[in-house]
């Protein structure tokens, strides 16, 4: 009668073998634990995982902050834009610093081995470095912020957005004192702050100034017409503001007019007219005041000629 075979189990290098009575070996099934897939522990300590985690956390923080700002009914659109731009710039700065700290060993090795390449990169990215330095200059000096009306060189406009490299402006006409929008949007790099002065034009709570000039022949005594000119100008200004359908709130100053008298180089009379206060349509206000003053002066000229 044939003897029954007896099998014994033992573990060898994570494989299961069956040992037969006569010393023979045959491979059995794999250990059940080998069927489980495990994420290598080295992944949790890798720089890639740390970088991805940092970016995800910052994106979630931006999303939460953006929703919180949109739910705030007590914030004006200008203030909300300013807070959004500032918070976004802070997150970008944190991301840049965090990524540099995470990849510092690799960056240090790369810089040491490729010194010549690093120098070439610095020379090639000189403008980029100037823009970053200009952003730091604007931040530390608080030169301007979202909502300010600035003039840099021949470029003038209202600040719409700020980032780490440039600022975005709603362009105004380049004429002195004019705040009439051109309809264009300009991206102004911060590197210009090192070569050109940045002027912040006066404005507060919707109060702005808009200036323009009118020139007349010396046929009528415009210097004696100061009160009449102011009266017709402010009447035309009030009618224009009323026609725009806006009302002057308690935080806005009522639109007013100021006239400065002078002469040109060839002896003609020149009036510098400054409109200030709540001006929803500066171009329309300028046209209305120009028509009113021009009509009054020309009527006096006809009277003088007829006399």
CA angle 180, 131, 121 (to 5 degrees): 145
Ranges 15-24, 58-67, 126-135, 218-227: which has the least confidence: 15-24
- Encode pLDDT of 278-307 as tens digits: 777 788 888 888 888 888 888 877 665 555
Question: Do 45 and 118 fall within a single domain?
Answer: yes
Question: Do 30 and 113 fall within a single domain?
Answer: no
Name the residue with higher pLDDT: 78 or 187.
187
- 285 within a domain of the structure (yes/no): yes
pLDDT-above-90 percentage for the chain: 6
- 74 within a domain of the structure (yes/no): yes
**Among 247, 239, 241, residue whose Cα is nearest residue 282:** 241
For residue 286, the tally of other CB atoms under 10 A from its CB is: 21
Question: Do 14 and 99 fall within a single domain?
Answer: no
Ranges 6-10, 161-165, 233-237, 250-254: which has the least confidence: 6-10
Question: Do 240 and 294 fall within a single domain?
Answer: yes
Range of the domain at 47: 41-124
How far apart (Å, rounded) are the C-alpha atoms in residues 94 and 59?
12
Question: Do 301 and 278 fall within a single domain?
Answer: yes
Last residue of a domain, one of 124, 142, 171: 124
**Among 166, 135, 170, 134, residue whose Cα is nearest residue 150:** 170
Strand partners, 16: 11
Length of the chain: 307
State how far the alpha carbon of 263 is from the alpha carbons of 110, 278, 298, 301, in Å.
Answer: 68, 29, 17, 17
Residue 250, pLDDT > 60, answer: no
Question: Do 29 and 61 fall within a single domain?
Answer: no
Question: Do 119 and 52 fall within a single domain?
Answer: yes
- 141 within a domain of the structure (yes/no): no
Residue 33, pLDDT > 80, answer: no
Question: Do 119 and 49 fall within a single domain?
Answer: yes
Question: Do 45 and 25 fall within a single domain?
Answer: no
- 190 within a domain of the structure (yes/no): no
| Mean pLDDT rounded to a whole number for the chain | 77
- 280 within a domain of the structure (yes/no): yes
Residue 267, pLDDT > 50, answer: yes
Question: Do 288 and 218 fall within a single domain?
Answer: yes
Last residue of a domain, one of 124, 158, 184: 124
Quick one: 189 exposed, middle or buried, by C-beta within 10 A (0-12, 13-18, 19+)? middle
- 186 within a domain of the structure (yes/no): no
Question: Do 300 and 221 fall within a single domain?
Answer: yes
User: Total structural domains in the chain?
Assistant: 3
Angular region, 249: left φ>0, alpha ψ -120 to 50, beta rest: beta
If pLDDT is split at 50, 70 and 90, which confidence band does 216 have? confident
- 188 within a domain of the structure (yes/no): no
- 152 within a domain of the structure (yes/no): no
Last residue of a domain, one of 124, 155, 178: 124
For residue 253, the tally of other CB atoms under 10 A from its CB is: 15
Quick one: 188 exposed, middle or buried, by C-beta within 10 A (0-12, 13-18, 19+)? buried
Beta-carbon contacts of residue 139 (< 8 Å; ≥ 6 apart): none
CATH of the domain at 231: 3.30.300.100
- Encode pLDDT of 111-141 as tens digits: 777 777 777 788 888 888 888 899 998 889 8
Question: Do 216 and 234 fall within a single domain?
Answer: yes
């Amino acid at each position: 009668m044939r003897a029954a075979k007896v099998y014994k189990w033992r573990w060898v290098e994570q494989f299961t073998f069956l040992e037969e009575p006569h010393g023979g070996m045959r491979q059995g099934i794999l250990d059940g634990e080998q069927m489980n897939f495990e994420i290598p522990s080295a992944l949790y300590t890798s720089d890639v995982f740390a970088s991805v985690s940092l970016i995800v956390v910052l994106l979630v923080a931006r999303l939460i902050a953006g929703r919180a700002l949109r739910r705030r009914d007590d914030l004006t659109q200008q203030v909300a834009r300013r807070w959004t731009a500032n918070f976004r710039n802070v997150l970008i700065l944190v991301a840049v610093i965090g990524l540099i700290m995470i990849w510092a060993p690799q960056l240090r090795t790369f810089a040491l081995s490729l010194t010549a390449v690093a120098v070439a990169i610095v020379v090639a990215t000189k403008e980029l470095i100037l823009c970053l330095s200009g952003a730091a200059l604007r931040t530390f000096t608080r030169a301007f912020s979202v909502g300010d009306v600035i003039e840099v060189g021949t470029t003038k406009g209202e600040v719409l957005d700020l980032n780490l490299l440039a600022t975005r402006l709603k362009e105004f006409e380049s004429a002195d004192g004019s705040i009439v929008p051109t309809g264009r949007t300009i991206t102004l790099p911060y590197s210009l702050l090192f070569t050109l002065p940045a002027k912040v034009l006066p404005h507060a709570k919707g109060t702005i100034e808009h200036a323009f000039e009118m020139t007349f022949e010396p046929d009528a005594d415009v210097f004696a017409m100061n009160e009449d000119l102011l009266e017709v100008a402010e009447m035309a200004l009030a009618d224009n503001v009323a026609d725009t359908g806006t009302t002057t709130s308690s935080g806005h100053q009522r639109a007013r007019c100021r006239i400065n008298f002078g002469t040109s180089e060839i002896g003609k009379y020149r009036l510098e007219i400054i409109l200030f206060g709540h001006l929803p349509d500066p171009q329309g206000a300028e046209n209305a005041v120009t028509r009113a003053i021009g009509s009054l002066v020309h009527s006096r000229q006809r009277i003088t000629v007829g006399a």
